[in-house]
A and B are shown apart, each in its own frame.
Chain A
Amino acid sequence: MHISEGVLTAPVLIGGAVLTAAGTTVGLKKLDYDRIMTVSMLSATFFVASLIHVPVGPGSVHLLLGGLLGLLLGWGAFPAIVVALLLQAIFFQYGGIVVLGINGLNIGGPAVLCGLFLSPLLGGSKKQLMTAGFLAGFCSMFLSALLMAGALFLSDQGFLHAAVILLSSHLPIMLIEGLITMFVVSFLARVQPEILSLTTRK
């Protein structure tokens, strides 16, 4: 899910960086005192989640858990993801500093979007809660793959080909993400329901 350095063209990189900077600023503005620790812990979860790999065909794909961050943090997921991506680039050489902007947009954007749309469901019945969890995991991954294909297309790497490969190879992980996010959310609803109300509370 991390685009390497040297693949994308400058306009795509700059565009991604600008949008990511904007998203991060909004996320930081909306971040209140009570949520700092939650953001940091979920950022750490995201940081580690990408080390968990699931073999698919000749390659393998890894977890992102962007949907979970979006659900629990709303806009706060943006800075959490960007910081974790930066650390992944430094420690694991996943992605890179130059592509941090576009990778942040590809992963953070869908996470925030899913979070904003689906977090109202968290306050509902158990069924609604689990649906929200699954959809957040599934859709954030789906949109990330789509955005990534878009970024590759804008850099003349062929959209349709990349989109087909990306979406098909990420389909299993989309389902797994959906299930994991669903379980985590329903687990939190039982053990620590106040975490779930953080995004909806204003």
Chain B
Amino acid sequence: MFTHSCLHNKQLFLLLAYLFLFPSESLAHKIRVFAWVSGNMVTVESGFAGKRPLINGKVTVKDNKNGTILLQGNSDEKGVFTFPIPDKARAEARDLLIVVSGGEGHQNQWLIPSTEYLPQGEVPSPALDKKPCLSPTASPSSSAEVDNAELKQLIEEVLEEQLAPIRRSLAKAENKKPTIHDILGGIGYLLGLAGLAAWLKNRRPGGQQKQ
């Protein structure tokens, strides 16, 4: 009987050791969402806290003002879902509310304000004026406009490349795992509550119970 329980203890120890030493990378039960605009596209990255992506998660894009569903889709095996900004939202300058649901009652959301995808106050004219000054071989205005469009796209592409790591680190910063402070804080609260309860129960209406 004794050896039997010893064996059990060993198994339990191994199981617990396994659980503690190889925790899965994901902390399920909290979905993280991170979305950004590049050009006319919005990219939504979703996953569980930690690194594991949310595969085939249901992404719903809503108009934040009245909650109408603009479009729906599923995230791919990297947890990414990309969609073009709906013309309707663009025309009415609506904020996009992106809700990602992982089933099993887990979901989270991300808001993209219209200011993030609408050009700020439509100011193409200064750029047009400056362009000929920058290039000495100034061409007729029509080709300058074409150049401008091309240039704009080029800049966007380069910016996208440059910004990608920053986006990633931002997403990482959003993705907070419980820290040791959180855990110890919680345990401290619970012990404190026990103390409080003990004190309340120990109070006698007649005065002190012990000196």
Contact = CB atoms under 8 A, between A and B. Distances in A.
Interface stretch (B123-131, B139-147, B151-159, B179-187): B179-187
B27 A7 contact: no
Interface string B37-60: 000000000001000100100000
Interface stretch (B103-111, B114-122, B163-171): B103-111
Contact of A186 (B5, B102, B107): B5
A60 B88 CA distance: 39
Interface in A168-191: 169, 176, 179-180, 183, 186-187, 190
A33 B195 CA distance: 11
Chief secondary structure at chain A's binding surface:
helix
B105 A53 contact: no
Nearest to B186: A87
A151 interface: yes
Interface string B175-211: 0101000110111011101100110011000000000
Contacts of B183: 47-48, 51, 91
Contacts of A93: 30, 176
A83 B190 contact: yes
Interface of A: 1-4, 6-8, 31, 33, 36-37, 39-41, 43-44, 47-48, 50-55, 58-63, 83-84, 87-88, 91-95, 148, 151-152, 157, 162, 165-166, 169, 176, 179-180, 183, 186-187, 190
Contacts of B101: 7
Contacts, number: 134
Nearest to A2: B29
Contacts of B182: 91-92
B8 A43 contact: no
B198 A55 contact: no
B29 A40 contact: no
A128 to B, nearest CB: 15
A52 B23 contact: yes
Contact of A87 (B26, B31, B48, B190): B190
4 smallest beta-carbon distances between A and B, as pairs = A40-B194, A3-B105, A55-B24, A91-B182
